[in-house]
Amino acid sequence: MNLIRSAYKRLLAFHGPQGWWPIINPANFTSEYQGVTPPNEAEFFEIAVGAILTQNIAWKNVDAALAMLKKKGMLHPASVRRIPLARLAGYIRSTGYYNQKAKKIKNFTEWYRRRKFDYDALRREDPAVLREELRSVNGIGPETADSILLYGLGVKVFVVDAYTGRIFTRLGILSGREKYHEIQNLFHRHFKGTARDYNEYHALIVAHGKDCCKKRPACVECCLFPLCVKNI
């Protein structure tokens, strides 16, 4: 299962650091984030909202919606709580599913309120407990919950997406029928790294998926060749 480590190295060498949340800050080399600013309270809410908005949608669409929300002063829980659902939905039209997603953002904000908007307390909480709570919020599934944990709170969890299954099935270490948790456990067992590495790995998989993995037959020209052998 060193394939998981070597695939990471190849992806990083080929695609370069992706600079997903939190914002890249080369000046900061002091923490385990090694050049990436750890998430903070101001960013947390925006990251969580972004994680919801990006469900099954290209990030480009999310970027526009986040800019709109920022312009309208909506990247704060208090504002989201006040605004009518329909108006919030209007601000996030570009992300598709806007009625559902507006509701999801409201639901998440309500959970955050129940948590007293206390970001520091969240960072001290048992991640397993947090995950349970986030998963119980309607509209937050496994990937969104893990994205909030990893990118918003710096918890070392691997975020699994549709690309992950495809890519590692091609590498021959998945059958293609594993469930979310099984894939996640595989990475937790075989990929030893910091939260920053988990952050980067997921981002690289997305970058790679958008690029190489659409090709048929698979991967002859891709950076994982010849690791990547199956054509699916």
Q: How far is CA 10 from CA 20, 158, 169, in A?
A: 18, 18, 17
Does 37 help bind DNA (rule: CB under 7 A)? no
User: Which residue lies nearer to DNA by CB, 58 or 78?
Assistant: 58
* Closest distance of CB 2 from DNA, Å: 26
User: Which residue lies nearer to DNA by CB, 57 or 227?
Assistant: 57
Chain residues 137-176 in contact with DNA, contact rule CB under 7 A: 137-145, 147, 151, 161-162
Does 99 help bind DNA (rule: CB under 7 A)? yes
Instruction: State the sign of the Cα–Cα–Cα–Cα dihedral 216, 217, 219, 220.
Output: negative
The residue among 209, 227, 207, 155 whose CA lies nearest residue 184 is 155
Does 112 help bind DNA (rule: CB under 7 A)? no
Listing DSSP states for 174-187 in one string gives --S---HHHHHHHH
Stretch that binds DNA, among 27-35, 55-63, 120-128, 185-193 (CB under 7 A): 55-63
* Closest distance of CB 4 from DNA, Å: 19
* Closest distance of CB 136 from DNA, Å: 8
Tokens of 90: 């209007």
Tokens of 129: 């407990």
